[in-house]
Amino acid sequence: MTMLRNLGHWWLGIMARMGRSLIFLVQILFGMHELLLRHPREVVMQLYSVGVLSLLIILVSGLNVGMVLGLQMYNTLVDFGAEAALGPVVALSLVRELGPVVAGLLFAGRAGSALTAEIGLMKATEQLAGMEMMAVDPIRRVVAPRLLAGIISMPLLAAIFSAVGIWGAYFVGVGLLGVDEGAFWSQMQAQIDWRDDVLNGVIKSIVFGVVVTWIAVYEGFDSVPTTEGVSRATTRTVVAASLSVLALDFLLTAMMFNK
C-alpha cells in the first residue's frame, strides 16, 4: 500500500517536472526573436563555448569510432569477398546512427553538463536574482542564447563526427588494409541516399540537440541553489539527456526506416 502510494507520488513528481520544463521551453521560445535582434553577439559567444569547445572531443571520438568501424567491417566483409562495400557500410552506420547518437551522448556529457553547472552556479551566487532585480529577464538573457547555441551546434557536431569517422575508416580501409580507393568512394556515393540517409540523420541530430540542451538549461535553472544542488542537477542532466538520446533514437529510427 505504501509502495503504491510512493510510486504514485514519484510518477506525479515526474509529470510535474515535465510540465514545468515544457512551460519553461515555451517561455524561452517567446523571447527568442528579441534575443536575436538585441543580442546577436551573445548567441555567437555561446556558440563558441557550447559548440567550438566541444569540437575536440567530437573530432577525436569520431576519428576513433571511424577507424574501429573500418577495421571491424573489413574483417567481416573480407570473408565474403565484399570488402569493396566497406565505404557504404561505414558511411551508412555513421550517418544514420553513430554520428547523431554518439555525438549526442558526447554533447550531453561535455556541453550539457557545463551548461547546467554554469546556470546553476549563476543561480546559487544570486546572479540570476540580481539580473531580475535589474529588470533583466534571465530566461531571455542567459537561458535563451544557450539553448539556441545548443540547437545550432549539435547538428554541425554530428555532421563533423560522421565526416571524420568516414575519413578514419578510409584511412584504415584504403590506407592500411588495401581496399580499392575508387570502389570505396564510388560505392558510397551510389549506395547512400540523400533524403533517406543523410537528411534523416540530420533530423535526428537536430532533435537530440533540442532535447539535450533543453534538459541542460532546465536542470540548471531549476537546480537547488547550493553546492550540492548544482552537483546533483549536473548529474541529472547527463543521465536524463543520455537516456533521452537513446530512447528517441529508437523511436526516430522506427519512424524513419520502417519499410
Partner 1 sequence: MSEIDASRAALPSLVSIRDLKFGYGGRKIFDGVDVEIKRGQVTTIMGPSGTGKTTLLRLIGGQIKPQSGEVVVDGRHVPKLSRQGLYDLRRRIGLLFQTGALFTGLSVYDNVAFPLREHTRLPEKLIRNIVLMKLEAVGLRGARDLMPAELSGGMARRVALARTIVLDPMMIMYDEPFTGQDPITVGVIMKLIRQLNDTLGLTSIVISHDVQEASSISDYLYVLSGGKVVGEGAPDAMKTNESPWVRQFMQGAPDGPVPFHYPADPIDDDLFGMVTA
Residues that bind partner 1 (CB under 8 A): 121-122, 125-127, 129-130, 132-136, 141
CB of 127 to partner 1, least distance (A): 5
CB of 252 to partner 1, least distance (A): 35
CB of 243 to partner 1, least distance (A): 30
Question: Read out DSSP for 198-221?
Answer: IIHHHHHHHHHHHHHHHHHHHHHH
| 133: three-class secondary structure by DSSP | helix
- Judged by beta carbon, residue 122 or residue 230, the one nearer partner 1 is 122
- Judged by beta carbon, residue 125 or residue 235, the one nearer partner 1 is 125
Residues in Cβ contact with 163 at an 8 Å cutoff, skipping those fewer than 6 apart: 62
d(Cα 170, Cα 174) in Å, to the nearest integer? 5
- Judged by beta carbon, residue 88 or residue 138, the one nearer partner 1 is 138
Residue linked to cell 538573457: 141
The answer to whether 43 and 141 have CB atoms below 8 angstroms apart is no
d(Cα 189, Cα 184) in Å, to the nearest integer? 9
Nearest to 240 by CA among 217, 206, 224: 217
- Judged by beta carbon, residue 4 or residue 135, the one nearer partner 1 is 135
- Judged by beta carbon, residue 18 or residue 129, the one nearer partner 1 is 129
- Judged by beta carbon, residue 125 or residue 189, the one nearer partner 1 is 125
d(Cα 32, Cα 4) in Å, to the nearest integer? 42
CB of 235 to partner 1, least distance (A): 22
Residue linked to cell 537547488: 224
CB of 221 to partner 1, least distance (A): 15
Using a 10 angstrom Cβ sphere, with 0-12 exposed, 13-18 middle and 19 or more buried, the burial of residue 111 is: buried
- Judged by beta carbon, residue 127 or residue 253, the one nearer partner 1 is 127
Residue type, 142: V
The answer to whether 216 and 116 have CB atoms below 8 angstroms apart is yes
CB of 224 to partner 1, least distance (A): 14
CB of 30 to partner 1, least distance (A): 12
